[in-house]
Amino acid sequence: MTLTFDPHEIAETLYHGQFCPMFIDGKDVPALSGEVIDVVDPASGRALATVPRGGVEDVDAAVAAARRAFEGEWSKFTPYDRQEVLLRIADVMERDWEKLCVSDTADMGLPLTRTMGNKRRVIGMLRFYAGQATALHGDYIENSISQSMVSFTTREPVGVVGAIIPWNAPTAASIWKIAPALATGCTVVLKPSEDAPLTPLMIARLMQEAGVPDGVVNIVTGTGREAGARLAEHPDVNKVVFTGSTATGKTIARAGVENLKRITLELGGKSPLIICKDADIDKAVPVAAMAVYAHSGQICIAGSRLFVAREIQDEFIEKLRDFARGLKIGHGLDDGTDLGPLINRVQAEKVEGYIAKGKAEGARLVTGGARPEGADYAGGNFLEPAIFADVTDEMTIAREEIFGPVISVLPFDTMEEVVTRANATPYGLAAGVFTRDLGTAHRTVKKLKAGSVWVNMYHAIDPAVPFGGLKMSGYGKEGGVEHLQAYLDTKAVWIQTE
């Protein structure tokens, strides 16, 4: 991608260490405690900005604002009005797309070519939900009790939605949580990750510009333990939508029990990607590599268990190694960067811990896994893309979500065997298979226990296609028409006509 602007220059104008307030009831506010959190550029370690360290009282204020808006001005918006607002948000976000992407990249490291490349999906999502806003309806139901009784259903917004998102895709995750809420008439309090809070703050202000009334979308920055936990347990929050780790997802589900919140959880994965012996190897190699290295492995759907047919294993690993070595590691804002940094030092050390464990448990490190050297990498959390061969199912690196640029190659002999092994995980988010045989493709898809299965491809996500996990990868779908159903309640109405 050739850029027509200088991303570093935009980054300088956006953030130069200043304080970025949070957004409650349409106003810029600090935390009531006055405390702040430092936000750093993971590629350089440089301080970008500070944001409020929102706590219980700030979340309570945001939920109160969201409740007032839900019952007040927002409830007067017709589906057409909400559709118009969503379409205007799409327009202003499209206008400011470069700025939004520079902000995301500066904040969490993903190469700009990747954040920019999400445009069709993210802007398209807003327009998709705008379309859905005017397509909501109840049903007229013929009852068997009496012809003088009329029975029908209405679909009503669940109310105040608490959204908690991770750091790996702040723009896309914000829109995926907020757009269906706006389409259905709900209001939102969103807590971004403490590791990447900046772009959601920008998005909320663009939504205000697009005509979203005060209190409909509120952003509370803060830590998970403080602001996140309060939002998850808040008695006046009707629904929580969460994307993040399985451990935190369980905590959130527990916190929601008290007022029986509706909950959608999009959690972790250890997704299998199966390369059959008849696969088109040259097509499969770059896809298998980027199934993990996209976003330096920090992506829930990472195809981190790469099952390769034993007959083609040597050739495949050699080509995968060459591909990995050709990837350019660097600052996400630099031209030509393929692989950005990991989000923070803790995450980089966690991944290094997995690499050490892989070696200690007998896997063979084919390439990568070290910190790249040189002035360009000073202060950043960079790791070379790693490939382990001779991995067995019991090894830690084959079982746990690493969330880093590490591929484990596991050889297999038969399709029956590989499907059983692929499913032998607590997770069930995604899976992939490469084969040129249509029968093999269909049979394998049918047996794989995962929320999304890709054949001869990986990674595709679209607003119109449902996405979400099985098993410990969570429940509830985002995307598709069923997404909106999770933001609606059904009311049954009976009328005696005689």
Mask for 343-382, x = binds ligand NAI (CB under 6 A): ----x--x--------------------------------
Q: How far is the CB of 115 from ligand NAI (least distance, A)?
A: 17
Kindly state the tokens that stand for 345.
């030092």
Contact with ligand NAI (CB under 6 A) among 243, 296, 304, 425: 243
248 counts as binding ligand NAI under rule CB under 6 A = yes
193 counts as binding ligand NAI under rule CB under 6 A = yes
406 counts as binding ligand NAI under rule CB under 6 A = no
Q: How far is the CB of 257 from Mg ion (least distance, A)?
A: 21
Total binding residues toward ligand NAI, as defined by CB under 6 A: 28
107 counts as binding ligand NAI under rule CB under 6 A = no
Helix or strand holding residue 314 (H, E)? helix 313-325
Chain-centroid distance of CA 224 in Å reads 16
**Which of Mg ion, ligand NAI, none has residue 15 at its interface (CB below 5 to 8 Å by kind)?**
none
The interface with Mg ion within residues 408-447 (CB under 5 A) comprises: none
179 counts as binding ligand NAI under rule CB under 6 A = no
Give the list of residues 6+ apart from residue 316 with CB closer than 8 angstroms, or none.
275, 281, 284, 285, 308, 409
Instruction: Please say if 300 is a catalytic residue.
Output: yes
d(CA 172, CA 165): 10
163 counts as binding ligand NAI under rule CB under 6 A = no
The interface with Mg ion within residues 171-230 (CB under 5 A) comprises: 224
What residue type is 135 in one-letter code?
A
271 counts as binding ligand NAI under rule CB under 6 A = no
**CB-based contact 90:123 (threshold 8 Å):** yes
**CB-based contact 497:150 (threshold 8 Å):** yes
Mask for 306-345, x = binds ligand NAI (CB under 6 A): ----------------------------------------
Q: How far is the CB of 401 from ligand NAI (least distance, A)?
A: 5
DSSP string, 42-67: TTT--EEEEEE---HHHHHHHHHHHH
Contact with ligand NAI (CB under 6 A) among 251, 304, 337, 408: 251
Of 300, 352, 401, 478, the active-site residue reads: 300
d(CA 463, CA 288): 23
403 counts as binding ligand NAI under rule CB under 6 A = yes
| Terminal-residue alpha carbon distance, the chain | 69
- Beta-strand ranges (E) seen in 186-276 are 187-191, 217-219, 239-243, 262-266, 272-275
Instruction: Please say if 266 is a catalytic residue.
Output: yes
Using alpha carbons, select from 46, 172, 6, 105 the residue that is nearest to residue 340: 105
- Count of CB atoms within 10 A of residue 370's CB? 13
**CB-based contact 488:155 (threshold 8 Å):** yes
Using alpha carbons, select from 301, 321, 337 the residue that is nearest to residue 451: 301
Outline where 369-431 has alpha helix (H).
Answer: 396-399, 415-423
Q: Which is nearer to Mg ion, 200 or 224 (CB)?
A: 224
Contact with ligand NAI (CB under 6 A) among 52, 213, 224, 405: 224
Give the list of residues 6+ apart from residue 36 with CB closer than 8 angstroms, or none.
19, 30, 50, 51, 52, 53
194 counts as binding ligand NAI under rule CB under 6 A = yes
264 counts as binding ligand NAI under rule CB under 6 A = no
Stretch that binds ligand NAI, among 80-88, 221-229, 278-286, 315-323 (CB under 6 A): 221-229
Please count the CA atoms within 13 angstroms of the CA of 172 that sit on its side-chain side: 23
Q: How far is the CB of 344 from ligand NAI (least distance, A)?
A: 9
225 counts as binding ligand NAI under rule CB under 6 A = yes
Of 194, 226, 266, 478, the active-site residue reads: 266
Give me the active site residues, please: 266, 300
Applying CB under 5 A, the residues found at the interface with Mg ion are 224
Applying CB under 6 A, the residues found at the interface with ligand NAI are 164-168, 191, 193-195, 223-225, 228-229, 232, 243-245, 248, 251-252, 267-268, 300, 347, 350, 401, 403
